[in-house]
Chains A and B, each alone.
Chain A
């Protein structure tokens, strides 16, 4: 939970993995966007891409991919964008995510999820 200097890590590795690219403002992924592979890994692919395509044969959240690869979320997003651009994955966006157009405005301007979803969440939790 404590921050640490990244230079004690392996910055070269992170740089190499993304070829120095960063995501910029164009971030189509939420932490809990579910990623699904649309193709099998091909020979010659970058090893991280191969691992993502294998993991995401079942829907897998961006944070889970990040934990599995042992790479920071922002680095994983760059890799995911590569795969998205080539049609190798699809993204199931969260309903309550940042792209949701009309969040209900609650008291004092709070952003509230819709009632039907809350009902589903409650039912799911009660079954736990």
Chain B
């Protein structure tokens, strides 16, 4: 996937105001095809852009005994969108592929991020396990959003409604303190609500802090 907007003539997005001074990040992470790009696109005020990063990793072959460790260089593409919050603050939303091999990229995305949204497809719950595990390890605050993009159960399977949020929470072994919500990533209002849930969660976590967190001297 190359840059969709690399043509200089296609400069339709409006530039930021001169007063824009703080870039902020939220990362939307999830398995392949779960709707990350859709969610980025539904709330972004610009046409989502795609760019790429070069990844160099020592090839960790499963049975690689050869003394020469080859380095493989690949590029990984990721999407992002933008929301201008006010005259100074600009929020960037990143869609991050959740698979293990992309964690090099995640370090960059997560550094300084406000928090993360784990986007979940109930038909492929285990795609989310790894992401949740890593977020907990990195102590990155997050919320879980279940993308119900085909909400009504298929007519040929009327007896199989989608699992409830409680069931999903259980299947993901999600701690009680982590919010989980339904969403439709295609709808702006719904995606916006997910982001508001994340910020509210961060605010609640921050309220649990002592009033004056003085560093020890």
Chain A residues packing against B (C-beta within 8 Å): 1-6, 9, 14, 30-34, 51, 57-61, 63-64, 66-70, 72-75, 92, 94-98, 100, 102, 104-115, 117-126, 128
Contacts and interface: CB of A to CB of B under 8 A. Distances in A.
Contact of A32 (B6, B25, B53, B196): B25
B75 A121 contact: no
Interface of B: 1-6, 8, 11, 15-18, 20-25, 32, 43, 49-55, 72-78, 80, 82-86, 89-92, 94, 97, 101-102, 108-109, 111-114, 139-141, 177, 188, 192, 195-196, 199-200, 202-203, 205-209, 213, 215
A32 B97 contact: no
Contact of A5 (B1, B74, B102): B74
B49 A64 contact: yes
B215 A106 contact: no
Contacts of A105: 209, 213
A125 B86 CA distance: 10
Contacts of A122: 196, 199-200, 203
A37 B23 CA distance: 17
Given A107-B208, A110-B205, A128-B192, A51 B24 contact: no
Contacts of A75: 54
A110 B111 contact: no
Nearest to B102: A3
Contact of B78 (A1, A51, A117): A1
Contacts of A30: 23, 111-112
Given A67-B49, A94-B25, A72 B32 contact: no
Given A32-B23, A97-B112, A121-B199, A74 B53 contact: yes
A72 B203 contact: no
Given A32-B92, A72-B75, A73-B52, A59 B20 contact: yes
A12 to B, nearest CB: 14
A98 B109 CA distance: 11
A33 B188 CA distance: 26
Given A69-B6, A94-B23, A118-B203, A6 B54 contact: yes
Given A3-B76, A6-B75, A30-B112, A124 B3 contact: no
B16 A60 contact: yes
Given A2-B77, A95-B22, A106-B209, 16 more contacts: A5-B74, A6-B54, A6-B73, A14-B54, A59-B17, A67-B51, A72-B52, A74-B54, A94-B25, A95-B24, A110-B140, A113-B114, A114-B206, A115-B203, A119-B203, A124-B91
Given A32-B23, A63-B80, A128-B192, A107 B205 contact: yes
